[in-house]
A and B are shown apart, each in its own frame.
Chain A
Amino acid sequence: MLTLVLGGAASGKSEYAEQVAVEAGGQKIYLATMQPFDAECEARIQKHRIARREKGFETVEQYTGIARLRLPKGCTILLECLSNLAANELFSPSGAGQDAGGEILRGIDLLCAQAREVVIVSNEIFSDGISYDPDTERYLSLLSGLNQAVACRAGRVIEVVCGIPIVCKGRGPR
């Protein structure tokens, strides 16, 4: 089963996604996509690491090219998060550049072929009504397209608001 968990900044989406992955059981792999650029990223990574330490996740860091990953058959994967992965593929030297969307979806399809449960966290960043520079607009277009493509593949889509899960597609885990 593929589950997409969406939410704004500090909406409680990560905690919720972790809970979904923990309840899914099996060997749990945390696929971390955030590159530690600076102290703020480092602090954020550390915060997430502490939050999931007790939950039995094994961490795999992969900033681009998730299609290259070989994972244990039947595991549970928590990909955190699609918005960082999209930025990395679009902008970083090791990324796929203009093929970012296709490359990421190919990677997600391969994750789904290997794992029993895949939980993907993504950001709702499309509601501030501001027009941005071309690079940011390109990124917004990439991520919104990915959210739709993943939602289409997913058996379950959940938006988290103030820590509360709202089921948009399928049935909630509980």
Chain B
Amino acid sequence: MELIVGGEGQGKLELVFSRTEISQELVCDGSSCPLDRIPEQPVMDHLHLLIRRLLESGQDPLAYVRRLIEERPDLIVISNEVGCGVVPVSGFEREWREAAGRACCLVAQHACRVERVIAGIPVIIKGE
């Protein structure tokens, strides 16, 4: 498993395209993919939005992430970092930030490589 994190619009997915044969059709988009099954594509983009949709639909997002880790050990996971702002007033927003952060910690734990992308530049923070 690999994890790529960073702010919005930093070139995380483009980084994957630039160094693999993977194209857009092979990307599972967490903002719109089905929630009732584990995706088969090699890349999961927008994990933070998938977590949000799982919470909205009353599912346990961390249970889903544990299944991803178990069933898709070769997956490349991409997520925005969403925990670096002021604590939101809304309880749901707080719950989402918490779950998205924990999901990334969990994926990072099982990832052989974790990269943080800023302005298109990847910085390796785990692995080689």
Using a CB–CB distance below 8 Å, which chain A residues touch chain B?
7-12, 40, 124-128, 130, 132, 136, 140, 161-164, 166
- List residues of chain B with CB within 8 A of the CB of A11: 83, 101, 105
**Cβ-defined contact, B86 with A164, below 8 A:** no
Closest to A15 in B: B105
Using a CB–CB distance below 8 Å, which chain B residues touch chain A?
3, 5, 7, 81-87, 91, 94, 97-102, 104-105, 107-109, 114, 116, 125-126
Closest Cβ of chain B to A56, distance in Å, is 24
**Cβ-defined contact, B86 with A130, below 8 A:** yes
Closest Cβ of chain B to A158, distance in Å, is 12
Closest Cβ of chain B to A132, distance in Å, is 6
- List residues of chain B with CB within 8 A of the CB of A161: 5, 81, 116, 125
- List residues of chain B with CB within 8 A of the CB of A136: 86
- List residues of chain B with CB within 8 A of the CB of A132: 86
- List residues of chain B with CB within 8 A of the CB of A12: 101, 105
How distant is the Cα of A8 from the Cα of B3 in the complex, in angstroms? 17
**Cβ-defined contact, A162 with B84, below 8 A:** no
Of the candidates B85, B87, B98, B114, which one forms a contact with A162 in the assembled complex, judged by CB atoms under 8 Å apart?
A: B114
Closest to B81 in A: A8
How distant is the Cα of A172 from the Cα of B125 in the complex, in angstroms? 14
**Cβ-defined contact, B100 with A10, below 8 A:** yes
**Cβ-defined contact, B84 with A126, below 8 A:** yes
How distant is the Cα of A166 from the Cα of B109 in the complex, in angstroms? 15
**Cβ-defined contact, A162 with B86, below 8 A:** no
- List residues of chain B with CB within 8 A of the CB of A40: 91, 94
How distant is the Cα of A132 from the Cα of B124 in the complex, in angstroms? 33
- Whether A10 touches B86, Cβ cut-off 8 Å, given contacts A164-B114, A166-B125, is no
